Structures are given as structure tokens and as C-alpha cells.
Chains A and B, each alone.
Chain A
Amino acid sequence: MADLAVKSDPTEDRLAALTMPSCGAWGRAVREAALARLRSMGLPGRRDEYWKYTRPDTLTQANVVPAAVFQNDELPPFEGLERLKLVFVDGVFDADASDDLAETGLEIERLETAMAQDIHWAKDLYGVLETNGQTPVARPLAALNSAYASDGIVLRVTAPVARPISMIYRHENPNSDAILHHVIKVEKGASVSVLENGPAAARLNKVMEVDVADGAAFHHVRAQGRDHERRAATHIFARLGTESRFKSFTMTVNGVLTRNECVIELLGDNAQAHVAGAALGDGDFHHDDTVFITHDAVNCESRQVFKKVLRNGATGVFQGKILVKPGAQKTDGYQISQSLLLDEDSNFLAKPELEIYADDVACSHGSTSGAIDDDALFYLRSRGVPLADAQDLLVLAFLAEAVDEIEDEDLREHVSARLSGWLERHRS
């Protein structure tokens, strides 16, 4: 046979379009190691089991699919809340728009600053939790992120912090391709809340590594929305110590493609991890929650609560796993994923999994898809509530179990108000 055309390798094609940021010695080493991990795994393709319900191509290909910057007169999320603001524009930290890092009284730096130092606490975490999260399931986009992340913050908290750290991701360039990597270390007995919002870029690859030490608490509330054409692949890797608490809630409205992975290891006894999501999708909306929680200690609790409301052909995906390792007795694991399909064109694809190697555990999981309850709708209307309001009320009621996972009352009400605002603006 004559020579065959050289088959192009999608991973190498992607890598060819990227430049590794210059950084100090340890930064270089961890990035090179991440690149080696990525090369050994390869970027995901359509045949990957873990990407069965979500096409990865626009997330992995070299070129970015442009996303229009959308403007509306709605105030950005978390407006009016007392918080420390860190602004990123198309994936680049904007010091002028942010609060002064030096004046926060916190150990908070840009990733590049941390990597430029010879000795830094972040070295023990950057790419480390990500690496732990690569088994038993490979997450190549996270390895790519560790290798090529161009910005991000590293934050170490040693005491309870009252003011939430708010990361605001602005999108201004319709062709932006952002790779952000944050490292957060919550030391023994400390606590912090992290807020995230904004479309970030036409394409966003984001990793957040969170180490929650013994007796520490981490709260995370994220609002993904606005620019409908944006695409995002995000990962949270969390490691939990004894009696620590981790809570993460994500609201997603709009977005042609969102894949949120959350990988949590409960390593200390009596730890607690709650992950929740509320998604509202209309039209060519594709939203994927992929969660992997490993119980590797005694008497830990985990909850996964995911609710999606889908219409006009929107697609929701849930892949959630609870792995209970040998010896992780008294585990209390709960997982629920539900969709409310407002028409017959919308889809919900769910793959709930339990894998248990301990004999004294309580784990439950459930997954349902349903339509709006006609009886409830009539009941509301018979009391004078107009049809559209009644529908919105039932949609919010459906999402409530997820929203209720937000501990802070102000934040919870804030998120509810945004969800109902979206519903009002999207009435057919």
C-alpha cells in the first residue's frame, strides 16, 4: 500500500495551539507532570464512556467556537452582598477592577505569583488533588488545565473569614479561550465562602482544588449563566479532613454546553460533603453534572441533589457516583437527580451509581423525570394564580430541594430571586 496520510492526533492538535505559561521551578515541574498525565490519557472523544451523554469535541478542539457577548439589563449575581471581589476578564485577572489583594488580610495571590516563588504552600496542592481525582476515572481536561492554566488565585485561610470571596468572570471577547486554576486551602478550624459568577469566556476550562482540613468548612455558591453561546468544562477537586464540611451549590441558566465535574474524597471521619445544582435550560442548552464522591473514612455523610428544568429541546445530564471504600463504615450517602421536562422535546439522561465495599452503610439514590403536575397546576389556578405564575411557582418548588442546600439565607434568597427572574424573562 502507498503511504497512508498521517493520522492527526486530537490531543496533539490541541496542545499545538497552547503555550505553557512561563513560571518558576516548581510551577514548571508540576505543569510538565500534568502534561505527561494528559498525554498518557489523551483528550476525551465521543466513544469515551464518561462522555457518552455529552459531546466533548467543542471543549477539546484547538479552535474556539465563538460566543456572542450578551447584554441584558439584569444586575450581575450577588450584587449588593458584602464580599471581596476578584475580577477576571476573559480569563485574565483584572487587578484594577478587583479589590486590593494586599489589603484583604488574607493569604491570597495570583497563581503566577505563587508559582514564581521557590517555596510555596500551594505546591502541595496544585495538580495534586487533580491527580488523585484521575483514578478510577480519567479527567483529561483537568490535566490539560493543570498544565496550561494561565491564571487563577491561590488562597489560604487560617481562621473563619466572614466576607465571601467572590470571583467574577467577565466575558468581553467573543473568541476568548480561558484556562483558570484556583487552589484553596482551608486550614484546621477555618472557614470560607467562595462565590463564582459570570460567563468567563467563549470557552472556559476551570479547575478548583480545595483542601478542607480537620474541622474546617468550605462553602461554595456558583451562578453560571447569561451568555447563551458560551461553553464550559469545570472541575472541583476536594479533599476533606476529619469533621470538616464542604458545601457546593451551582445554579446554571443558559449555556450551550456546560460540564461541571465535582470530585470529592472524604478522608477524615465524620466529614460532610453536599453538592447540589439547579439548572434551567431552554432550547439548545446542554448541561452535564458529573459527580464522584469517595467515602474513605468512618461516619461521613454525603448528599448529591441535582434538579434540572428543561424545555424546547434542552438536554440535562447527570452522572453521579458514590464509592464507599472498605472500612468506610457508617457511611450515609444520598443522591437524587431529577428533571422536570416542560415538553416532549427535552431530554434528561441520568446515570446514578453506587459502589459499596463496606457492610454497615446507608446509601440511597433516586432519579426521576416528570412533567408539571396538572393537579397542582389546577389547584393553584383555582385559587386565582394565573397560569404562567402557577407554572413558575411549581418550577421553583421543584428546584427548592437543591436551592435549600445553600446554607446562607441571604444567598439562598438571592439565588431564588434570580431563578424566578429568569423564568419571568423566558415566558413563552
Chain B
Amino acid sequence: MLEIKNLHVKLEEEDKQILKGVDLTVEAGKVHAIMGPNGSGKSTLSYVLSGRDGYEVTAGSAHLDGEDLLEMEAEERAAAGLFLAFQYPVEIPGVGNMTFLRTAVNAQRKARGQEEMSATEFLKVVREKAKTLKIDADMLKRPVNVGFSGGEKKRNEILQMAMLEPKMCILDETDSGLDVDAMKLVSEGVNALRDAGRGFLVITHYQRLLDHIKPDVVHIMANGRIVKTGGPELALEVENNGYADILGEAV
């Protein structure tokens, strides 16, 4: 589903290489986790895949179901089925959460040549999905992420994911800023979306999250590359021994 080959990326403004040849394939129905120390390039990878400005791809490729992601605008990637759950969801004063969700859902439908969702149908679906994530009517009415707690913001990300039903979900440190209960709630939301047709790339520092969202494959990223790939046991190894051992081994 998601195929990344030899991806090299540098920051546009400074001449600094961040990704130095990332190779990664995520199959449909699988959950892949990427772990790695700070500054290894995990977040950059998620931004580059979702189309944020400020990065320059100097070599390599990234395809989603055979479509060249790097040739597309951010909104086209979203319509093609890519979703990024932000590490720091953005506050947008003045735009109601509900308006935001509906605009996004219908923009994607339009881009795919599907019929737009009616207001009543949308309302029904969003209420149902919000309920399972314990998002109340007030949170839906308030401006996007404004005044939301850390946990509310992350739940709101998962709600967007549930509404947009993407093929490929990238979760960038979704566990950061969450307490145990919130992490459980968010994980349940993610697990509910696990599906044979959907791939996940879960970026995290800690094994904790992977207790709730069980990965099929774990990658260790360091210094702009995937340095080790293994099963769920690799995450446990990191938890017990830290990155130093693995990195020492890989270098």
C-alpha cells in the first residue's frame, strides 16, 4: 500500500539532510510502528509524506497504491487516502469543529467524484463516532482544537480519521501528552478502524502505546534511516535496553 524507497529529504531553508535513504513498505491490513530517538527523522517522514511545505526531496520515492505521493498537493494526498494524525493538532479559532469536519469530508468526496454528504446524514454519522470517542456535543461545536486539553485534541484527531476513513493512517506520536485513560480511549478508537484494507504507520517514542495498538512490524529509525526491522518483540527490547544497544549493533 505505502511504498517508500530510498527517500532522501533535506530542510529547504537550511542545507540539512534529515532523511538519508528511508526504505519502508506498509501492506494493507498491517500496523507498522516506527520507534527511534529524538531527531531521528520520524516526524519529518510523516510531514514529507503528508505534503507539508519546507522540505525538499533530494532522492527516492513514495507511493500510495501506486500513486506518486510526492507529485501531489497535500489536499490531493488526503483525497487519495492518506491521513496524518498530528503530534500537535493545530488550533483554528473561528472555525467550528463540525464545519471543519464536514468541509473536509465533502472536499474529499468531491475530489473523488463522490456525492457530498447531506447535513443530516453527516450529523448522524459524526454524533455516533464522537460518542465512542467520548467527544461531547460541546466539543463538536467549539472552534477546532481551541481550548481543548491534550487528550481532547488527540481524540479529535481520531474522530477526523474515523470520519475521513483513509486508506493509510500515519499517527505521529499520538501518545504524547496523554494520560493512561486517554491513551486507552485513543487506542480503542484506532483499533476500531483496523481493517484488512487499511494500513497504519504508528510513530512513537515509547513501547507503552504499542501495548494498546499491537503492531505487526516494528522499525527502528535513527539518523534518517530505518536501521532495524522486526516483530513486536523489538519494541520490548527498546523498552528494556534503550536505543543504545540496537544502534550500536546496527552501526
Contact = CB atoms under 8 A, between A and B. Distances in A.
Given A374-B53, A378-B53, A378-B74, A385 B103 contact: yes
Interface stretch (A145-153, A262-270, A328-336, A395-403): A395-403
Contact of A397 (B77, B89, B93, B164): B93
A381 B143 CA distance: 17
B148 interface: no
A376 B164 CA distance: 18
Interface in B84-103: 84, 86, 89-95, 100, 103
Contacts of B51: 381-382
B188 interface: no
A149 to B, nearest CB: 39
A245 B164 CA distance: 45
Contact of B78 (A374, A383, A389, A396): A383
Interface string B66-86: 000000011101110001101
Contacts of B207: none
A33 interface: no
Interface stretch (B22-30, B31-39, B104-112): B104-112
Contact of A384 (B90, B92, B94, B164): B164
A379 to B, nearest CB: 4
Contacts of A95: none
A393 interface: yes
B94 A382 contact: no
Interface residues of B, number: 29
Nearest to A381: B74
B164 A378 contact: no
Contacts of A401: 94
Contacts of A390: 75
Given A397-B93, A401-B94, A383 B53 contact: no
Interface string A366-385: 00000001111011111111
B93 A384 contact: no
A381 B92 contact: no
A392 to B, nearest CB: 10
A387 B51 CA distance: 12
A396 B94 CA distance: 8
Contacts of B89: 379
A401 to B, nearest CB: 7
Contacts of A383: 78, 100, 104, 107-108, 160, 164
A382 B95 contact: no
B189 to A, nearest CB: 17
Contacts of A373: 90, 92
A326 interface: no
A125 interface: no
A208 B215 CA distance: 69
A381 B94 contact: no
A386 B92 contact: no
B78 A394 contact: no
B44 interface: no
A297 B51 CA distance: 57
Contacts, number: 79
* Interface magnitude class on chain A: 20 to 34
A385 B78 CA distance: 9
A389 B103 contact: yes
A398 B94 contact: yes
A3 B73 CA distance: 73
A381 B93 contact: no
A381 B91 CA distance: 14
A394 B104 CA distance: 14
Looking at chain A's contact residues, is the secondary structure mostly helix, strand, loop, or mixed?
helix
Contact of B107 (A375, A378, A384): A384
Interface in A103-126: none
Nearest to A383: B104
Best-surrounded residue of A374, A383, A401 (most CB of chain B within 10 A): A383
Interface string B28-63: 000000000000000000000011110000000000
Nearest to B160: A383
Given A382-B50, A386-B107, A397 B73 contact: no
Given A374-B53, A378-B74, A379-B86, A385 B94 contact: no
Contact of A379 (B79, B92, B107): B92
A389 B50 CA distance: 18
B92 A385 contact: no
Contacts of B100: 380, 383, 393
A211 B51 CA distance: 57
A384 B53 contact: no
A382 B74 contact: yes
Contacts of B79: 384
A373 B77 CA distance: 21
Interface string A303-334: 00000000000000000000000000000000
A379 B88 CA distance: 10
Given A378-B53, A379-B92, 12 more contacts: A375-B90, A378-B52, A381-B51, A381-B74, A382-B50, A382-B75, A382-B78, A382-B84, A383-B100, A383-B104, A383-B164, A397-B94
Interface of B: 50-53, 73-75, 77-79, 83-84, 86, 89-95, 100, 103-104, 107-108, 111, 143, 160, 164
Give the 10 A-B residue pairs with the shortest CB-CB distance, closest first: A397-B94, A384-B78, A383-B104, A384-B108, A381-B74, A400-B94, A379-B90, A397-B95, A381-B75, A384-B107
27 contacts: A373-B90, A376-B90, A378-B74, A380-B92, A380-B104, A381-B51, A381-B74, A382-B52, A382-B74, A382-B84, A383-B100, A384-B79, A384-B104, A384-B107, A384-B111, A384-B164, A385-B103, A385-B104, A386-B107, A390-B75, A393-B100, A394-B95, A396-B95, A397-B93, A397-B94, A397-B143, A399-B94
